[in-house]
Structure 1
Amino acid sequence: MSATLTVAAPAERVFAVLADPATHAAIDGTGWVQEAVERTPLAEEGQIFRMAMYHPNHPDGHYRVANKVHVLDAPRAIGWLTGEEKEDGQLTFGGWFWRYDLVPLGPSETEVTLTYDWTAVPPSIREYLEFPMFGPDHLSNSLKHLADLAVSG
């Protein structure tokens, strides 16, 4: 599933907003992403960053996800796999990822495409999680939130 929006900000500015985990709760818009556990900017593939989450249907309500940067090509693309960290510190990823592709349309405009891909989610996870977890409007709303942050910042 994907959505595209033209943002009235340079690609470098849009990328900087996406690379800052502290902005992710404001971009999300579902209320699930609560806050960044680590606020270090995303700077390299393989980097792990954790987010505090909340979902009323989650068994614990409040929980954490561990994300692994798997695409980082500043200022053109950034993406991460979402998973969890076990009590022993082991990271596992469920097969879905988020990716933003940025295409400069000039010095002050950027076309941003947000992709949410769950095609690699194994049947064992699909038994208890339904994909997609939300409708396509969520992606469009997230892009609007991103645009607001990039333009105001």
Structure 2
Amino acid sequence: MTHESIQSVTRIEASPETVFAVLADPGSHAAIDGTGWVRESLDGKRLTETGQVFRIAMYHDNHPDGHYEMANQVRVFDPPHALAWEPGQDAAGDGELQFGGWTWRYDLKPVGQDETEVTLTYDWSRVPSVMQEEFGGFPPFPASHLDNSLKHLASLATR
């Protein structure tokens, strides 16, 4: 763990193509998430390109409204090697997305026959310090969240 990112690594007994297909389906993100914050995909569309925005319903007890929505912009789309997105919101309600500066990234590396090493990185290096203070520091969850997410991803990819 550095002061600006955390990582978790696991091996999954599935091909990189299979693992990537699970990640590229936002409908599977609630089942992958280890915090219980992610609810469901609001778009129902698979991820297909860099720049694509996909919306996810969320819930957190500490959020002022409890339920909220994140609009995630795909920053890296390199099947079946890497997928990354940056969460944002339309805070002003004017259609303009504002991004907080944190990203989720999955890097997939083939290991032998039908096995994939997956590295999950949560990076908050571009989060302004004032926002970090407002959130009570980063990451806003324990590092074990990444381990749990990779366990859930492995379960989905090996079904």
- What TM-score results when the alignment is normalised by the length of structure 1? 0.97
Aligned-pair Cα RMSD in Å: 0.8
Counterpart AA for 1:113: T
Q: Check whether the contact 1:76–1:103 (CA below 8 A) recurs between aligned residues.
A: yes
In terms of fraction of residues, the more strand-rich structure is 1
- Given candidates 92, 98, 103, the residue that maps to 1:97 is 103
1:134 and 2:141 equivalent?
yes
Shift of 1:106: 2.2
Q: Check whether the contact 1:10–1:106 (CA below 8 A) recurs between aligned residues.
A: no
- Given candidates 20, 24, 27, the residue that maps to 1:22 is 27
Aligned residues: 152
Q: Which residue of 2 aligns with 1:113?
A: 119
Q: Check whether the contact 1:36–1:52 (CA below 8 A) recurs between aligned residues.
A: yes
Counterpart AA for 2:99: F
Shift of 1:39: 1.5
Q: Check whether the contact 1:51–1:64 (CA below 8 A) recurs between aligned residues.
A: yes
Structure 1 residue runs of 4 or more that deviate by more than 4 Å after TM superposition: none
* CA displacement, residues 117-144 of structure 1 (integer Å, 9 cap, x when unaligned): 0011012312311211111111001000
Secondary structure of the residue aligned to 1:9 is coil
- What TM-score results when the alignment is normalised by the length of structure 2? 0.93
Identity of aligned residues (%): 58
Query: What is the alpha-carbon distance in structure 2 between the residues aligned to residue 46 and residue 3 of structure 1?
Result: 25
- Given candidates 53, 58, 65, the residue that maps to 1:60 is 65
In structure 1, runs of 5+ residues without a counterpart are: none
Q: Which residue of 2 aligns with 1:148?
A: 155
